[in-house]
Amino acid sequence: MEKEKSPSSFLGGCGAGIGCVIGAIVIIIILVAAILVSIAGSDEKAQEEVSNKQSSTYSNQETAQKEEISQGKVEVKSHTSKKDDYGKVTVTGEVINNTAKPVSSVKVTVTFYNSQDQVVGTDYTYPVGFGDPELQPNTTAPFEITKYDIEFATYKLDVSWD
């Protein structure tokens, strides 16, 4: 007949001595250290991903403007806004890739402000989104954002990309 194994036999026949307790504590410390190193590594990766995201900002102070081209950014090349008789506002424009590399996930966000510079609305679109071909250097992509029933004095456009 086979002898039942006691819980201490899983620790190499260690009994309840001080050596077994110290060994168990060392194992726990090693496991906790491994978990902390793993967490720290994922935080660094998340921080790296955030730092890879780029952005730039434009306002409607000069509507239908052509932006001065500066190297290293995806920018709003031009934009206009129209409001119809029913309260629908449409902001249209183009973004241009002024970087040396193709970019993806280009997001344009519009923020609307009242005459007291308070935010009264926001919306966004992806002129280059998931599944779209990358935006090549020195090429443009159109965008259009529509918002209903909004009263505003000014708006700003923010562009972010990967």
The pLDDT assigned to 91 comes to 97
More confident residue, 96 or 13: 96
- On whether the CB atoms of residues 89 and 124 are closer than 8 A, the answer is no
| Domain range list for the chain | 12-51, 55-161
64-102 pLDDT, tens digit per residue, is: 333 333 458 999 999 999 999 888 999 999 999 999 999
What is the share, in percent, of the chain residues with pLDDT greater than 90? 49
Task: Tell me the pLDDT of the chain averaged across its residues.
Answer: 76
Lowest mean pLDDT among 58-67, 88-97, 114-123: 58-67
Coil, helix or strand for 43? Answer: helix
pLDDT > 80? residue 110: yes
- On whether the CB atoms of residues 73 and 57 are closer than 8 A, the answer is no
**3-state DSSP: the chain helix, strand, coil percent, rounded to 5?**
25, 40, 35
pLDDT > 70? residue 49: no
Place of tokens 């609305």: 121
Phi and psi dihedrals of 48, rounded to 5?
-65, -40
Fold annotation for 55-161: Immunoglobulin-like (2.60.40)
The pLDDT assigned to 52 comes to 41
